[in-house]
């Protein structure tokens, strides 16, 4: 009912905290929740909340005003029975007024109260888009819903081919609109790849572990290899061991200098052997003197 934020609680402190303590705890939480550092999805919200708390508590004057307000609200509640539900807004308005006073003209924008800063120029908007590796090969179109100052926009965005994990795409003038004739901000999209069951990506290079049969490893020859751009035929050299790395040049993510596609061979055995297959393997063992552990002294 009493809508005010407990800034001490947000910082995990008591009302008796010293200014030094407040600063130390804030710095620690700021590093923890900084959106550039934290991977938690609600980091930005937490960071803003911690920042707002610190903004008030770091300044002894503002802190005293805040303490006073909280005490007043407390007293109101103690002396008066809580007003009916609809009356709750009055208290939150008190608190909003209080904040508006503290932060002056640069106070909180809109009714949302997420601590947005009033500015002439539109703010840049940062967002993340997840795409599949295949999209990086061919380009893709994504529909994004963007919430800015006072409107929600739906935008179709063409993502060019050749994007890398973590890369940014800039859309000039597609950020928040300017206020009072200010220029619109830009929209920055950070590209993230959805995890792929087959491929691992490093910058523009793409890696695949390719299972091959023992006879393919022994004899070499052509095998089908999946790539994000469709299957290709690849020649395996005869006598290729597990772990051998082969490169398909230029078949990584396309770019001016496209990445490469790396195939690591993995020899796998069939689950079952027929009697005849067993006999053939026995013959092979007799035929070829080979100790793969010779280098281990056994």
Yes or no: say if 252 and 258 are a contact pair by the CB < 8 Å rule.
Answer: yes
209-234 as b/e: b if 16+ CB within 10 A:
ebebeeebbeeeeebebebbeeeeeb
Question: Would you say 171 or 240 has its CB closer to another protein?
Answer: 171
Q: Binding of another protein at residue 103 (CB under 8 A)? A: no
Between the two ends of the chain, the Cα-to-Cα distance in Å is 78
Shortest separation between residue 201's beta carbon and another protein, angstroms? 7
Binding residues for another protein, total number by CB under 8 A: 43
Tell me which of 86, 156, 257, 288 binds another protein, using CB under 8 A. Answer: 156
- Checking 69-75 for CB contacts under 8 A at 24+ apart, the result is 69/4, 69/94, 69/95, 69/98, 70/4, 70/6, 73/2, 73/4
Q: Binding of another protein at residue 257 (CB under 8 A)? A: no
Q: Binding of another protein at residue 27 (CB under 8 A)? A: yes
Yes or no: say if 121 and 185 are a contact pair by the CB < 8 Å rule.
Answer: yes
Tell me which of 47, 66, 137, 262 binds another protein, using CB under 8 A. Answer: 47
Site track for another protein across 126-145, x = CB under 8 A: ---------------x----
Distance of CA 296 to the CA centre of its chain: 45
Shortest separation between residue 69's beta carbon and another protein, angstroms? 26
Yes or no: say if 193 and 133 are a contact pair by the CB < 8 Å rule.
Answer: yes
Shortest separation between residue 200's beta carbon and another protein, angstroms? 6
Give me the residue label for tokens 């061919």: 138
Shortest separation between residue 298's beta carbon and another protein, angstroms? 33
Shortest separation between residue 151's beta carbon and another protein, angstroms? 4
Question: Would you say 198 or 238 has its CB closer to another protein?
Answer: 198
Question: Would you say 34 or 62 has its CB closer to another protein?
Answer: 34
Site track for another protein across 158-197, x = CB under 8 A: xxx-xx-xxxxxxxx-x-----------x-xx-----x--
Residue 174: count of CB within 10 angstroms of its CB? 22
Burial of 206 (C-beta count, 10 Å sphere; 0-12/13-18/19+): buried
Query: Where along the sequence are the contacts to another protein (CB under 8 A)?
Result: 27, 30-31, 34-37, 47, 51, 121, 124, 141, 147, 150-160, 162-163, 165-172, 174, 186, 188-189, 195, 200-202, 256
């Amino acid at each position: 009912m009493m809508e005010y934020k407990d800034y001490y609680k947000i910082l995990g402190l008591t009302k008796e905290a010293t200014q030094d303590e407040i600063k130390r705890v804030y710095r620690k939480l700021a590093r923890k929740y900084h959106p550039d550092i934290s991977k938690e999805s609600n980091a930005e919200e937490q960071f803003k909340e911690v920042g707002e708390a610190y903004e008030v508590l770091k300044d002894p004057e503002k802190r005293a005003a805040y303490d006073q307000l909280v005490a007043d609200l407390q007293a109101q509640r103690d002396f008066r029975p809580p007003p009916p539900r609809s009356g709750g807004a009055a208290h939150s308005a008190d608190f909003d007024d209080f904040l508006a006073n503290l932060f002056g003209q640069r106070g909180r924008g809109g009714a949302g109260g997420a601590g947005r800063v009033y500015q002439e120029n539109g703010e840049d908007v940062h967002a993340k888009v997840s795409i599949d590796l295949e999209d990086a090969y061919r380009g893709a179109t994504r529909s994004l819903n963007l919430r800015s100052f006072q409107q929600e926009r739906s935008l179709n965005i063409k993502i060019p081919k050749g994007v890398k994990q973590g890369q940014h795409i800039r859309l000039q003038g597609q950020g928040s609109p300017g206020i009072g004739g200010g220029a619109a901000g830009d929209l920055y999209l950070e590209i993230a790849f959805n995890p792929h069951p087959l491929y691992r990506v490093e910058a523009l290079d793409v890696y695949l572990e390719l299972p091959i049969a023992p006879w393919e490893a022994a004899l070499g020859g052509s095998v089908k290899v999946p790539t994000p751009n469709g299957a290709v035929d690849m020649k395996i050299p005869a006598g290729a061991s597990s772990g051998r790395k082969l490169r398909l040049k230029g078949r990584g993510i396309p770019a001016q200098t496209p990445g490469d596609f790396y195939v690591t061979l993995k020899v796998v055995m069939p689950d079952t052997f027929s009697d005849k297959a067993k006999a053939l393997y026995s013959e092979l063992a007799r035929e070829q003197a080979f100790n793969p552990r010779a280098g281990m002294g056994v």
